[in-house]
Amino acid sequence: MWIYRPGPEHPARAGSYAGVGRYGTYDMAGNVTEWCWNQTADRRCVSGGAWSDPGYMYTALDAASPFDRGPTRGMRCAQYAGALPEPLTAPLANIQDHDYGKDKPVADDVFRLYRSICAYDRTGLQSHVESIDDTSPWWRQERVSFDAAYSNERVIAFVFLPRHAAPPYQTILFFPGGAALRERTSEHLELRRLDFLLRGGHAVVYPVYKGTYERSFSAPPSGPNNVRGIRIQWAKDVGRSIDYIQTRADLDSAKLAFFGAGVGAGVGPIFAAIESRLKTVILQGGGPGGSSGVPGEAQPINFLPRVKIPVLMINGRNDFLSPLATSQIPMLRLLGTPEKDKRHAVFDCGHSVRRAEVTKEVLAWLDHYLGPVKRKEP
C-alpha cells in the first residue's frame, strides 16, 4: 500500500539522509543547491536541487546570481589531489538562449490541420477501478484504468477525492514535471504539488501519461519526431482522461481545470487550445521551451493564440530553464485569452516558487473562475 508522506519544509543537517551518490558523496540531492565554479553569462551554476525544488532539479542545469543568499543555497568544501581538468571549470553556455518572442505562430488554416492530428475516436473506455487507498485523513485515492486512444493501450490514472467537500467535486486534471519521465513507478507521484488542492476541497485526476511512470520508455524520447509523437499521445491522454471524468457523477466536469507543472506547463497550451471542456488553465514553472526542431504540429507556440480560456501563469523571475524575457513574457503575450482573464504571477526566485505562494495564487484563481468549493455539512 502506498502512503503519501510530505517532503521537508527546510534544509536538513548534514548526514541526515542515508542516500549515497555515485561517487560516494552524501547530501547531494534535495537539501540545498551547491554553488559551482562554472559561470554562465552573469550567473554561477547551482547544482543538486534544494529541499523546496521538484525532484527533476537534481539533474537539471540551474544558475543564479552570485549575490543570491537565499535559504536554498549552500556550498561544499573539497580538497583536490591535483589540478582540475579545464572542462570541469569552463563556462557553460546558456541552455535556453532561444527568444520565443521572435517566433510567429502559423496561420489559421495550417493550425486547423495541426489540431486534426490530435483528434481521436471517442470509443468506449472499458474503465474499471483497480485499487482503493483510504489511509489519508484528507482524501480517498483510487487507481483506475481505461482504454487509450491509440495502440490498444490502457491509461492508468489516480483519482483523489477530498474528504471535506461535498460532491460533485470541482476537478483538477494534473500534468507533472520532468521527474515523471524518469521515474519507473507511480509510487513517486508529485503529490507535494497537489495536496493543498485536496485539502482545499478539490478533486484531482493524475493520469500516468505515455512515457511516464509505469508507461515509461527505456530512455527519454529524443529527436524532434519522437518528441512530436509523444506530445500528440499526451494530447489524446488528456482527452481520454476528460472522457473518463465525464462518466463519474462525483466529479463535476462542468468545473474542470488543467494544472501543468514544469513540462506540463510547457505543453499545457496545446491541450488548452484543442480541448473545449477545460474551463481554466494553471501553468506553473514553464514556458514554450524544449521545442527546438520539433515539427510545428507539436510546437506550443502555434497553440498559444488559440487558447481563449482563463490562464494563470506562475513563474520565478530568475528561472534559468524558462527565462522571463525570452520565454515567459512571449508565452503570456501570445495567449489568445482576453487580458482580463490572464495573470502572470512572478516571484523573486528561480525555477521553484515557494509552496505558500503557489497555494495562495492557485486557490484564489480557482475560487474566482470555478466558484467556491462546497463544503460538507458538519
- Residue 236: per-residue pLDDT: 98
pTM of the prediction?
0.86
Per-residue model confidence as pLDDT tens digits over 200-231? 999 999 999 999 999 998 877 788 999 999 99
- pLDDT beyond 80 at 85: yes
Give the pLDDT of residue 378. 67
Regarding predicted confidence, which is higher, 290 or 82?
82
- 3-state secondary structure labels for all residues of 230-298: HHHHHHHHHHHHHHHHCCCCCEEEEEEEEEEECHHHHHHHHHHHHCCCCCEEEEECCCCCCCCCCCHHH
**H/E segment holding residue 115:** helix 108-117
Question: What confidence tier does 361 reach under pLDDT thresholds 50, 70, 90?
Answer: very high
User: Does position 6 have pLDDT exceeding 50, yes or no?
Assistant: no
- Name every residue whose Cβ is closer than 8 Å to that of residue 16 and which is 6 or more positions away in sequence: 27, 31
Q: What is the pLDDT of residue 173?
A: 98
Of the given ranges (8-22, 36-50, 214-228, 235-249), which has the lowest mean pLDDT?
A: 8-22
Report CA-CA distances (Å) from 133 to 142, 144, 165, 187, 378: 6, 12, 18, 13, 24
Evaluate if residue 3 carries a pLDDT over 60: no
pLDDT value at position 374?
Answer: 92
Domains of the chain: residue spans and CATH: 1-95 (no CATH), 100-370 (3.40.50.1820)
